[in-house]
Amino acid sequence: MQSLTNQLGAMLNKRRAPIIEFNRVSFVIGIMLLVLTVFMFPPAVTDVIADNPDWKVFAGSAFFTGFIGMMLVMMSRGRWSNEVSLKEGFLLTVLSWVVLATFAAMPFVFLGGGLSLIDAWFEAVSGLTTTGSTVLSGLDDLPPGILLWRSIIQWIGGIGIVVMALIMLPFLKVGGMQLFQTENSDRSDKFLPRAREVMGLIAFTYVALTTACAIAYGVAGMNGFDALNHAMTTVATSGFSTHDASFGYFKEPAIHIVAIVFMFASSLPLVLYVKAVKTGSLSAFNDQQVRGFAKMVAVILIGLTLWLAARPEISLGEAVLKVGFNAMSIISTTGFASEDYTAWGSGAVGTFFVLMFLGGCTGSTTGGIKAFRLQVMLLSSFNYLKQLMSPNRVVVATYNGKQITADIATSVLAYLSVMFASVMMFTVALSFFGLGFITSLSGALSALANIGPALGPTIGPAFNYGGLPDGAKLILIVGMLLGRLEFFTVLVILNRDFWR
Amino acid sequence: MQSLTNQLGAMLNKRRAPIIEFNRVSFVIGIMLLVLTVFMFPPAVTDVIADNPDWKVFAGSAFFTGFIGMMLVMMSRGRWSNEVSLKEGFLLTVLSWVVLATFAAMPFVFLGGGLSLIDAWFEAVSGLTTTGSTVLSGLDDLPPGILLWRSIIQWIGGIGIVVMALIMLPFLKVGGMQLFQTENSDRSDKFLPRAREVMGLIAFTYVALTTACAIAYGVAGMNGFDALNHAMTTVATSGFSTHDASFGYFKEPAIHIVAIVFMFASSLPLVLYVKAVKTGSLSAFNDQQVRGFAKMVAVILIGLTLWLAARPEISLGEAVLKVGFNAMSIISTTGFASEDYTAWGSGAVGTFFVLMFLGGCTGSTTGGIKAFRLQVMLLSSFNYLKQLMSPNRVVVATYNGKQITADIATSVLAYLSVMFASVMMFTVALSFFGLGFITSLSGALSALANIGPALGPTIGPAFNYGGLPDGAKLILIVGMLLGRLEFFTVLVILNRDFWR
């Protein structure tokens, strides 16, 4: 991990030149594959302990992945430098997710009963992008190695996203992320040490959060294996479970409460935990994005809870738990389900559809539009409203003390336009594969926002993606990657000008 | 009409002062009510000719509306000046739609069998905003006066929108409409005379288009009454019909072709017809918005036609007609239906849902996001993409020769944010009234984009809005007005600061 962190941290010493040196790209991808190789051993060991022959699959996958990783590193003939050009940044960001997902899919192909190539790739992409849609069923009867592997790729994906959001996206200026450029940081960020150290601290925080979550799950009543797996997929807000019934399997309210707390905690920017520890004060969380997100969550949870508790058959306590768990799961784009909330009535379906857009804070592992973009939209609109009334007054909207410049407004407009257009195009594409309207629309949104469950009778919270036609699965794979990479990183690569 | 036009034209002599003189506002509203009064006579005469006692209702409504109109004009004690302040502009824009719709609802309440207040208001708002959702059924058996009245209020609404888009919205700078400010107009617009004259020409063009459409319908096989009514609601892209089956009632292909042609023609900016006549050249239509809209329509129609024609039971000719009519009806936000296109399969449902967002060109009678905003979104996104790759190059996006300034990008972002948020909030609100998800979502969108029919088994193209609960109807009334007034005009009025 430390090695990966160092390499990525080094990217901050960037050079904005339009050059692609493939040696540098292959070096970094090679290092990442070696890291992935290391993570293939825990599932192998688990299967050895469980006396399950699948350990060979993991050992074989590790051998092959490690071999390719070594090859890439060697081929780049030590031509590593501490600099990364803008184009290399884009290429690395996109390639790393695609390549890692492809290698992570290997165990799914060779396991007993083996998945088709499309299914294996779907599961791996869904894992690494922390979406959490699954094509597998009968999870409860699967050997422990593969269950652990699913959790591990989600957990790796989670830290990958945080690193990407902290370093690559502000550097690439994608989707308004320049608001989080550390170069422009104001006084309050001065205490932050160099990026390399931050990355180490972020990784440490991630491990610490996961450990705390696992212990809490254990204390609340999960067995050790479940606690570890669900801790990884909770902190990565990713949503794979070891049971077909997801959290419906666990009856203890304490377990659901732990999940709610950690899904919320994992929706906050990880870097704020680092700040809080460094300054020894919780005031690090007094951040405009966190405040906005917390308010939004509070309003949604309270509103939905009161609505559900109004029914004679549901007590207030039950309503708090049901709403808290399922709404927090969708807002944080985790995608666990404790029951089929679409059965609560039409009001719930409409509401959960809207929740699917939101997402947590940027710099967390969540997907969706994310709190800061919603806030920029809100602030820009409100500012615009003021300007409409008094055209001669100059009103400047600010966010976290930084001005919302035209640059940022345009980035956010571009992000929303593309997000919106993508939801539309993916809906149409899925519906031409014969999926119903609700399935197509919510499936497209769920993939693009990296949530997991969708709505409706095919891929709703009580179902899985196994029954979809292969074409639809391919579309969703593209959607999950596009959404995770915040659209523009991919669009830039696909542009002809990029390759000149 | 000329008098209304003069008053509105005078608004261009504006003063951007934060003053509201209610005398001026009431004077204009009074004049508008007097115009509305005049339009109540044709239905009265029609009912007299048809020997139907409903003529008394129209006569009574005319008397009452005329009386109130006179009162307002007299109360303002001739205190009319040629100037309108910015705040008065907002107030007038919003008030005129609400007040006119309320008076236009009167005949619906007092007619034989009379509608409830909510239903009558729904029908009138749906009419005046050119939405075209109806709560009435059994249209074929209704007396001619009320059918004519429905067409007339849509037709008045249509010209009202064009005037609003041409004069008020660019002045108020709502939703990126400053792109169409005539003050900033470039050379190619120089030939345009003063606004007052333009308004007269616009009104003339509107009448000419309507007449041409009525004659074409007559030649194609409609009887005179149907031809007149459908011409008014085609040119207003509004969609009320004199038959429950809408255009399904007419079997002649020629009638459908006429409708397709005039729905397309009415989706173009009316001012371009004025230009074309003035310059005696069709090159007036060589406009970036028209080109973009035409391309979009071509791609959609060809794609859908090929898809539908691939079925053995549908000939290419049939497919052209079915797709051309129904897709053009939704894109232009007219809302006529020739059949239940949702029965074409899931692909059609997804596609028509997406079509509901689009709308025609600004400066036409259409609703929806509209071509120029889609183009600004596309151009901004593409420009942003270029900027991402070459951060040091200054790339400026232009539209119709004008720079897409930060100001405009922010306006469009604000418009989209509010449009998007409104679709979400209205979906949730409708779903809490027990409407299913598809009905809630497509109903919210249909109202906000001023289309008419929605999707699904309640308010889809083969059904009507009569069966909805009153609460849902009220929500839709608010939605239709909000969408028609491009959101911000209403939001400005609702802001506390406005009233200081």
A351:B438 CB<8 A: no
* Min Cα separation A363/chain B (Å): 21
List CB contacts (< 8 A) between A425 and chain B.
354
Q: Which three-class secondary structure state does DSSP give residue A143?
A: coil
pLDDT one-digit tens code per residue, B293-345: 999 999 999 999 999 998 888 899 999 999 999 999 999 999 898 888 888 88
B413:A418 CB<8 A: no
pLDDT one-digit tens code per residue, B440-475: 999 999 999 999 888 888 888 777 898 899 999 999
B354 at A interface, C-beta within 8 A = yes
Pair B463, B339: CB distance under 8 Å: no
A491:B385 CB<8 A: yes
B406:A410 CB<8 A: yes
B225 at A interface, C-beta within 8 A = no
Q: Which of residues 242-281 of B touch A (CB under 8 A)?
A: none
B389 at A interface, C-beta within 8 A = yes
Separation between Cα atoms, residue B3 and residue B73, nearest integer Å: 13
B428:A386 CB<8 A: no
Which H or E run includes A403?
strand A402-403
Residue B424: closest C-alpha in chain A: A354
The pLDDT confidence band at residue B42, using thresholds 50, 70 and 90, is: very high
A349:B437 CB<8 A: yes
* Min Cα separation A488/chain B (Å): 7
Q: Select from A388, A414, A437 the Cβ nearest to the Cβ of B174.
A: A388
More confident of the two residues A211 and A1: A211
Q: Select from A350, A410, A411 the Cβ nearest to the Cβ of B428.
A: A350
A468 at B interface, C-beta within 8 A = no
B455 at A interface, C-beta within 8 A = yes
Neighbours of B169 (CB within 10 A): 26
B388:A173 CB<8 A: yes
Highest mean pLDDT among A49-58, B223-232, B351-360: B223-232
Which residue of B94, B346, B396, B497 to mutate against A (max A Cβ within 10 Å)?
Answer: B346
Q: Select from B345, B391, B414 the Cβ nearest to the Cβ of A384.
A: B414
pLDDT one-digit tens code per residue, B76-122: 766 555 566 778 888 888 999 999 999 999 999 887 667 899 999 99
Percent of all residues in chain B with a pLDDT value above 90, rounded to a whole number: 48
pLDDT beyond 70 at B241:
yes
A457 at B interface, C-beta within 8 A = no
Pair B129, B450: CB distance under 8 Å: yes
Which H or E run includes A399?
strand A398-399
Neighbours of B154 (CB within 10 A): 27
Residue A85: closest C-alpha in chain B: B389
Q: Which of residues 7-26 of A touch B (CB under 8 A)?
A: 16, 18
Q: What is the mean pLDDT of chain A?
A: 85
A381 at B interface, C-beta within 8 A = yes
Lookup: tokens for A145: 């190695």
Q: Which of residues 286-325 of A touch B (CB under 8 A)?
A: 307
Q: Select from B357, B411, B424 the Cβ nearest to the Cβ of A384.
A: B411
For chain A, what percentages of helix, strand and coil (3-state, to nearest 5) are there?
Answer: 70, 0, 30
List CB contacts (< 8 A) between B372 and chain A.
none
Listed range (A103-112, B401-410, B470-479) with the worst mean pLDDT: B401-410
What pLDDT is attached to residue A112?
Answer: 66
B173:A388 CB<8 A: yes
What pLDDT is attached to residue B430?
Answer: 93
pLDDT one-digit tens code per residue, A272-325: 998 888 888 888 898 899 999 999 999 999 999 999 998 888 899 999 999 999
Closest Cα partner for A233 from A106, A167, A164, A147?
A: A147
Which residue of B91, B381, B387, B433 to mutate against A (max A Cβ within 10 Å)?
Answer: B381
More confident of the two residues A499 and A344: A344
The pLDDT confidence band at residue A13, using thresholds 50, 70 and 90, is: very low
In the A/B pair of chains, how many CB contacts fall below 8 A? 180
List CB contacts (< 8 A) between A406 and chain B.
406, 409-410
pLDDT one-digit tens code per residue, A353-409: 999 999 999 889 998 999 988 998 888 888 888 888 777 777 778 888 788 877 788
pLDDT one-digit tens code per residue, A160-208: 988 887 777 777 766 666 666 554 333 334 333 456 677 888 899 999 9
B345 at A interface, C-beta within 8 A = yes
The pLDDT confidence band at residue A137, using thresholds 50, 70 and 90, is: confident
List CB contacts (< 8 A) between A381 and chain B.
413-414, 417-418
Between the CA of residue A90 and those of A16, A75, A310, A384, A487, what are the distances in Å? 12, 21, 51, 33, 11
Lookup: tokens for B65: 């509306």
- SS3 of chain B: the string is CHHHHHHHHHCCCCECCCCCCHHHHHHHHHHHHHHHHHHCHHHHHHHHHCCCCCHHHHHHHHHHHHHHHHHHHHHCCCCCCCCCEHHHHHHHHHHHHHHHHHHHCHHHHHCCCCCCHHHHHHHHHHHHCCCCCCCCCCHHHCCHHHHHHHHHHHHHHHHHHHHHHHHHHHHHCCCCHHHHCCCCCCHHHCCCCCHHHHHHHHHHHHHHHHHHHHHHHHHHCCCHHHHHHHHHHHHCCCCCCCCCCHHHHCCCHHHHHHHHHHHHHCCCCHHHHHHHHHHCCHHHHCCHHHHHHHHHHHHHHHHHHHHHHCCCCCCHHHHHHHHHHHHHHHHCCCCCCCCCHHHHCHHHHHHHHHHHHHCCCCCCCCCCCCHHHHHHHHHHHHHHHHHHHCCCCCCCCEECCEECCHHHHHHHHHHHHHHHHHHHHHHHHHHCCCCCHHHHHHHHHHHHCCCCCCCHHHHCCCCCHHHCCHHHHHHHHHHHHHHHCCCHHHHHHHCHHHHC
List CB contacts (< 8 A) between A15 and chain B.
none
More confident of the two residues B285 and B397: B285
Q: Which of residues 123-142 of B touch A (CB under 8 A)?
A: none
Separation between Cα atoms, residue B209 and residue B234, nearest integer Å: 10
Q: What is the mean pLDDT of chain B?
A: 85
pLDDT beyond 50 at A7:
no
The pLDDT confidence band at residue A415, using thresholds 50, 70 and 90, is: confident
Q: Considering the entire predicted model, what is its pTM?
A: 0.87
Percent of all residues in chain A with a pLDDT value above 90, rounded to a whole number: 48
A174:B353 CB<8 A: no
List CB contacts (< 8 A) between A491 and chain B.
385
Instruction: Note the ipTM here.
Output: 0.83
pLDDT beyond 50 at B12:
no
Q: Select from A347, A354, A413 the Cβ nearest to the Cβ of B413.
A: A413
Between the CA of residue B292 and those of A203, A357, B356, B378, what are the distances in Å? 49, 29, 17, 11
Residue A355: closest C-alpha in chain B: B424
Which residue of B417, B442, B486 to mutate against A (max A Cβ within 10 Å)?
Answer: B417
Q: For the residues of A85-99, what is the DSSP string, one character each?
A: BHHHHHHHHHHHHHH
More confident of the two residues B55 and B6: B55
pLDDT beyond 80 at B390:
no
Between the CA of residue A486 and those of A154, A176, B149, B393, what are the distances in Å? 18, 10, 51, 23
Which residue of B410, B485, B486, B495 to mutate against A (max A Cβ within 10 Å)?
Answer: B410
* Min Cα separation B37/chain A (Å): 33
Q: Select from B86, B389, B428 the Cβ nearest to the Cβ of A354.
A: B428
Separation between Cα atoms, residue B219 and residue B216, nearest integer Å: 5
pLDDT one-digit tens code per residue, A231-254: 999 999 999 999 998 999 999 999
Separation between Cα atoms, residue A205 and residue A276, nearest integer Å: 11
List CB contacts (< 8 A) between B384 and chain A.
410-411, 414, 488
B177 at A interface, C-beta within 8 A = no
Pair B140, B242: CB distance under 8 Å: yes
